[in-house]
Amino acid sequence: MIKLNTQHAKSLTTEAEMTNIWPRVEAARDKVTHGTGEGSEFLGWRDLPKTYDRDEFARIKTTAAEIQKNSDVLVVIGIGGSYLGSRAVIELLGNNSSTEVIFSGNNLSSIELDKTLKKLDGRDWSINVISKSGTTLEPAVTFRILRQKLIEQYGEKADGRIYATTDVAKGTLHDLATEQGWTRFVVPDDVGGRYSVLTAVGLLPIAVAGVNIDELMAGAESATAETTAAGTVPAIDMAMQYAAIRNVFLEKGFTVEVLASFEPSFAQMAEWWKQLFGESEGKDGKGILPDSMIFTTDLHSLGQYIQDGRRQIIETFINIAKSPVEITIPANDDNGDGLNYLAGQDLSFANQKAYEATALAHSEDGVPVLSIDIPAITPREIGYFIYFMELAAAISGYTLGVNPFDQPGVEAYKKHMFRLLGRED
């Protein structure tokens, strides 16, 4: 079970600071659990692990099996919440199927799209195009180009290789998919993009990658429990603790939070987390800027800033207790490199000690350090982690005094871009 460890940060706060913020955190929790806050029409993610559409879930599995059978590659076209979650889960848990899942439509770079187009040459492939609004330029234009290539390769059969994840009833992509008869999945009305990884948005690509989505959902469901076995803390209580402590530090001038992991395969999960917190909290002139680092790599670059630079950073470590891979450091007769003190140890032991050392070094120098302990990298633990973070983003956003479910700031660049591109409204 995942644990939040605040021991290193507590010494940098006072009892009074935590006590003072607590009523706001409780009120925020009530807004989430009772649906009484701003944006409550987007609370669908909250009960999803228990109430998800079983028929659609079964269809996702059947479709994933079909794609695995007929495609070497699945191209997932989507941006923001329409791809970050699935990419994060697949990178972290690995692709266990013979179908490679690649991501496109999350930028407007010709260089990137050219690489994707070349990668598809001579291979069997399909598209999962994902857009709730159906009007987002990046995925829409990428889909137009890739669909053209699909038609060139498969002719009339191309339509059978397009899987569209759209709004339930409206939008350009919904209408196109219905018209063309593409296999269609839905983004529920009450689930916003960044909270949608446990819907078809995330689940279809994840299932194609061979990840056990039953386990993923079971992990998320266990995080919905309000009471847990003795010695464990319910996810909602941990989410409240996390929301409290990060808001206390924000009020003390810590305006950046770095999610730091010692596993490079966690990098995309950190990207998902950045979107979740960045879009949920960064508004009305408020919010913590979410950032991420991969250690020990970044200890040899940005580690200097965290240790010695301006005191504005909260550091939240992801501590994965058990590595799924063990590599033993061999003994060496002449010990020319002086490393025999490590002989016989697993490399993951060194990684674990590096984490403990970094947490100590940074907290000793006044960095508020939090840790989230994940026992193992399994679909169940990751399902739990995802739900815990969604809960935490919602509670923390309400504690901050913002609507955690809208993203009005995303529209500003689009207005200018469409004008500069000459779109007529």
Q: Which is nearer to ligand PA5, 81 or 290 (CB)?
A: 81
Annotated catalytic residue 112:
no
Among 29, 147, 194, 283, binds ligand PA5 (CB under 6 A): 194
User: Which token pair is 270?
Assistant: 């950190």
Nearer of residues 91 and 138 to ligand PA5, judged by Cβ: 138
Contacts of 226 (CB under 8 A, 6+ apart): 234, 236
Q: Give, for 293, the enclosing helix (H) or strand (E).
A: strand 289-294
Which is nearer to ligand PA5, 194 or 362 (by Cβ)?
A: 194
Q: What is the dihedral sign for C-alpha 365, 371, 375, 377?
A: negative
Residue in this structure with the two tokens 């939240």, named with its chain if needed: 316
**Residues binding ligand PA5: number (CB under 6 A):** 15
Q: Is 263 a catalytic residue?
A: no
Tell me how far, at minimum, the Cβ of 407 lies from ligand PA5, in Å.
6
State the chain's maximal CA–CA distance in angstroms.
75
**Toward ligand PA5, which CB reaches closer, 147 or 362?**
147
Which among 1-9, 111-119, 132-140, 281-289 is the span making contact with ligand PA5, rule CB under 6 A?
132-140
Calculate the CA 274 to chain-centre distance.
Answer: 8
Asked if 133 is part of the footprint of ligand PA5 (rule: CB under 6 A), the reply reads yes
The span from the CA of 217 to the CA of 215, in Å, is 5
By CB under 6 A, which span of 19-27, 127-135, 288-296, 349-357 interacts with ligand PA5? 127-135
How deeply is 92 buried, as exposed, middle or buried, from its count of CB atoms within 10 A (0-12, 13-18, 19+)? buried
Nearer CB in complex with ligand PA5: 39/81: 81
Closest distance to ligand PA5 from the beta carbon of 355 (Å): 31
Residue nearest to ligand PA5 (CB): 193
Nearest-approach distance from CB 225 to ligand PA5, in angstroms: 26
Q: How far, in Å, CA of 22 to CA of 245, rounded?
A: 10
Among 261, 268, 403, 407, binds ligand PA5 (CB under 6 A): 407
d(CA 75, CA 418) in angstroms, rounded, equals: 26
Are residues 39 and 403 in contact, defined by beta-carbon separation less than 8 angstroms? yes
Q: Does 211 bind ligand PA5 (CB under 6 A)?
A: no
Shortest spacing between CB 134 and ligand PA5, in angstroms:
7
Binding to ligand PA5 in span 70-89, by CB under 6 A: 79-82
Question: Which of 131, 183, 292, 396 is in the footprint of ligand PA5 by CB under 6 A?
Answer: 131
* Cα distance between residue 299 and residue 378, in whole Å: 27
154 token code pair = 């498969």
Write down the number of H helices and E strands in the chain.
Answer: 16, 10
Joined tokens for residue 273: 């987390």
300 is catalytic: yes
Among 71, 136, 247, 403, binds ligand PA5 (CB under 6 A): 136
Least distance between ligand PA5 and beta carbon 402 (Å): 15
* Smallest separation, CB 139 to ligand PA5 (Å): 6
In angstroms, the CA 273 to CA 266 distance is 11
Contact criterion met (CB below 8 Å) for 240 and 226: no
Which residues within the stretch 250-289 sit at the binding site for ligand PA5 (CB under 6 A)?
A: 279
Strands (E), 218-264: 256-261
Catalytic residue (choose from 156, 179, 300, 416): 300
Q: Which of 279, 281, 315, 381 is catalytic?
A: 279
CB of 8 to ligand PA5, least distance (A): 32
SS3 (DSSP) at 97:
coil
Select from 131-139, 247-255, 315-323, 385-393 the region that touches ligand PA5 (CB under 6 A): 131-139
Nearest by Cα to 295 from 339, 345, 349, 359: 359
Instruction: Give residues in contact with ligand PA5 (CB under 6 A).
Output: 79-82, 131-133, 136, 139, 192-194, 279, 407, 410
**Catalytic positions:** 279, 300, 414
